[in-house]
Structure 1
Amino acid sequence: MTKKIDFRPVILAGGSGTRFWPRSRRARAKQVLALDGERSMLQQTVERLSPIAGNEKVWVITNELLAAEIESQLPGVPRSQIVEEPVARNTAPACGLAAFLVEKSNPDAVIGVFPSDHVIGDEPRFLKIIQRGVQLAASGDVMVVLGIEPTRAETGYGYIETGDSGPADLDDSALRVRRFTEKPSRNRAEEFVAAGNYFWNSGMFLWSARTLANAVREHLPEMAPLLEEIASCYGTPEFEQVFAKLYPKCENISVDYAILEPRSAKGEHYSRLYCIPAEFGWNDLGSWESLYEYQVETRSRGDEEGNVAETSGLMTLDSVDNYIYSPKKFVALVGVQDLVVVETEDALLISHRKHSQDVGKIVKELAATGQTELL
């Protein structure tokens, strides 16, 4: 970076990752699993940011079920900066709390919000784009979102519509944001890709602590006092009690809906909301299907028949395009195609790849029927 900026990554790691059941459980959610490589998704997220932000600058927002595992995986992150939500809430309360916590020590610090379950193929390029975004976010009352150049008419992602170029004196590649659109229909997604000025919403945001805290005060006036009171108790014996009392009163709403969409509604020349187009091998691993596709595309795994397997041995006969996880057993595939087979010590999942998004419904049914030992 051309000027020294206090950069604080905030990693959102509170999700349960139900679509990766049975490997993902309440106390072993997907972000603490090594789904792609030997390091967990969370460890990879922190490590790729380490060249521009040491572990002592990192904050992790999680829950009490995952906190101990996260602490063991990230020994360099201060335990006090692994914040345990007392109840599950969406990204707006988590981001807002981080803003008020960081604002206490340095309102000018730039907060980078990062989901804990993404994979990045080109990490050097990723870091260069983050550095540019940090510079832009530090320039004033500015919000920055990383937009991924779409490669297909994906209906599972949100989209960012962009307009004019941003401030040439800061970053002439940044584009002003016109509006956000949540997961569109197939026809609309095709229109977005054809238009050329739409990008996938990566869920990665950059803004100063002051900018985000003020945005929470403006757009979430009922939530802001709750989060400010929680933050004011941080580091005191009363913190956990106040956190547990007030946080459940916060609205369950995403930062996109609560802050970014109202900001974009001001008009692209007034909102100071910018998108930096990015292409660095990004993938949002949201299901067994997306993990399979990523590993085939990157050739990190997969045989000549398109089978991706983590087993003690594999034999195939007339079987193509399957995902198999059974690390302690030899597996034979005969005449099957497009399957997901995942074995753990106490459960076995068999699904068609195209239906792997529905695995979360199994988890809901297990909860509804009281089979909590499988959660």
Structure 2
Amino acid sequence: MEDLFEKHFYVIILCGGGGKRLWPRSRVKTPKQFIKLFKGKTIFQDTVSRSRILVPYPKIFVVTNYDYVDEVREQAPSIPRENIIAEPQAKNTAMAIGIGALYIHKIDPLAVITNFASDHHVENLRKFERAVKTAAVTANLGDFLVTIGIKPTFPHTGMGYIKSSHLFKKVNNEGIFKVEKFIEKPNVTTAEELLSEGGYFWNSNLYTWRADSILRAIDKYLPKLSAGLGKIRESLGTKKEEGVIKMVYEEAEDISIDYGVSEKANNILLVPADFPWSDIGDWKVAYDVSKKDKEGNVVIFEKGKGEFVGIETKNCLVHFSDELIATIGVEDLIIVDTKDALLVCRKDKAQGVKKLVNFLKEKGKLEYL
């Protein structure tokens, strides 16, 4: 166990773009993982801090877009520069996970890797640490792809689900289960049925595996993508590396690791967990996981000399920097003010922000995106 975590355990943080539902603070140039939401940290910095519970900085790798390399370096200066892997374009999680595993496998063929999205929020870090380490020990037992399933607390329609099968074995006194199938995001009725039936978990996309296992799985289920990774492998450390990566990404399939590998593989294992976990997918989720004042308001003051005054204001989220924001007699609102855009919407309409961003794009308002 000590040998595993000290010598062969690594973390990959997937730090691509996205985040339309957190507009106007999340933009193409500064996506959601780089904005401050919790305890004065950005979501990305929070993920780095969580990773440090498990491994030292030299064992943390970040896969990000070329455009965000400087931001990653600025926000996480302790991560070695050579551990920041720059993608020339976004090609979804299968490619990002594959190239990350490729780099780590080159320096450590015995590597066990856990993969974190840069936009997740986790509480109860003791339970989180135990679940991830249990997944790592399980992955090290053989050719397995291990995922952490979050025990559902309500019929969530914005999450995919995982159906567990029979008990595989116990690791660290925790039951590890075979995975029967993955379920797409259900409607309310189906989600209620899944919870009533039992044995279903939220799909957290918290994957852990040996580097050679995931590269083998990609080769089996995504052979074209694997062939591209093979070309990159041959170029690593040569003058051709950057050019080969650009060429491979031009031709690479845009597919998630779930669709491309997990839903097809028969060697998926599940570690059940019950720590509070959220994908910060919209402002409503940001409100739900944030600390509230006595009126139920969440006030996120990012920087500058701004001030918030709320009179008869309840259960609102207010995100701003330099301005004075004042409200009277409002409830359940999302208010996000930036230097060139202001968003006001009901909390229950937070999912609609993505539609708004798409509308702005259609109208050619690219300067606001």
TM-score bucket of the superposed structures, by smaller chain: over 0.9
Query: Against the structure 1 CA distance between its residues 336 and 170, is the aligned structure 2 distance closer, same or farther, given a 3 Å change threshold?
Result: closer
Q: What is the Cα deviation at residue 18 of structure 1? A: 1.4
Aligned to 1:164: 166
Q: What is the Cα deviation at residue 154 of structure 1? A: 0.4
Aligned to 1:266: none
Aligned to 1:307: 297
Structure 2: which 5+ runs fail to align? none
From 199, 213, 218, the counterpart of 2:215 = 213
Distance 2:288 2:337 in 1: 19
Aligned to 1:114: 116
Q: What is the Cα deviation at residue 31 of structure 1? A: 0.8
Q: Does 1:342 align with 2:344?
A: no
Q: What is the Cα deviation at residue 168 of structure 1? A: 3.3
Amino acid at match of 1:280: F
Aligned to 2:358: 364
Q: Secondary structure at the match of 1:87?
A: coil
Q: Work out the number of aligned pairs and report it.
A: 363
Q: CA RMSD in A?
A: 1.7
Does the aligned pair in 1 maintain the 2:137–2:171 contact within 8 Å?
no
Aligned to 1:92: 94
Q: What is the Cα deviation at residue 84 of structure 1? A: 1.7
Query: Against the structure 1 CA distance between its residues 372 and 52, is the aligned structure 2 distance closer, same or farther, given a 3 Å change threshold?
Result: same
Q: What is the Cα deviation at residue 214 of structure 1? A: 0.4
Distance 1:272 1:170 in 2: 20
Q: Could you tell which deviates more after superposition, 163-172 or 321-330?
A: 163-172
Aligned to 1:328: 322
Q: What is the Cα deviation at residue 202 of structure 1? A: 0.6
Structure 1: which 5+ runs fail to align? 264-270
Distance 1:227 1:355 in 2: 41
Amino acid at match of 2:107: S
Q: Does 1:123 align with 2:125?
A: yes
Q: Secondary structure at the match of 2:223?
A: coil
Does the aligned pair in 2 maintain the 1:148–1:279 contact within 8 Å?
yes
Q: What is the Cα deviation at residue 279 of structure 1? A: 1.7
Distance 2:365 2:29 in 1: 15
Distance 1:335 1:253 in 2: 46
Q: What is the Cα deviation at residue 80 of structure 1? A: 2.2
Does the aligned pair in 2 maintain the 1:166–1:172 contact within 8 Å?
no
Question: In percent, how many aligned pairs have the same letter?
Answer: 35
Aligned to 1:69: 71
Structure 1-normalised TM-score? 0.92
Amino acid at match of 1:175: F
From 12, 15, 32, the counterpart of 1:13 = 15
Aligned to 1:134: 136
Does the aligned pair in 2 maintain the 1:99–1:212 contact within 8 Å?
yes
Distance 1:327 1:16 in 2: 22
Query: Against the structure 1 CA distance between its residues 172 and 350, is the aligned structure 2 distance closer, same or farther, given a 3 Å change threshold?
Result: closer
Aligned to 1:150: 152
Q: What is the Cα deviation at residue 231 of structure 1? A: 2.8
What do the CA deviations read for 1:310-354 (whole angstroms, capped 9, x no partner)? 354444344322111233233332222221110011110111111
Amino acid at match of 1:4: L
Structure 2-normalised TM-score? 0.93
Does the aligned pair in 2 maintain the 1:142–1:273 contact within 8 Å?
yes
Amino acid at match of 2:355: K
From 103, 110, 120, the counterpart of 2:105 = 103
Distance 1:172 1:126 in 2: 13
Does the aligned pair in 1 maintain the 2:85–2:100 contact within 8 Å?
no
Distance 2:241 2:95 in 1: 16
Q: What is the Cα deviation at residue 235 of structure 1? A: 2.6
Amino acid at match of 1:370: G
Aligned to 1:294: 289
Q: What is the Cα deviation at residue 305 of structure 1? A: 2.7
Query: Against the structure 1 CA distance between its residues 310 and 57, is the aligned structure 2 distance closer, same or farther, given a 3 Å change threshold?
Result: closer
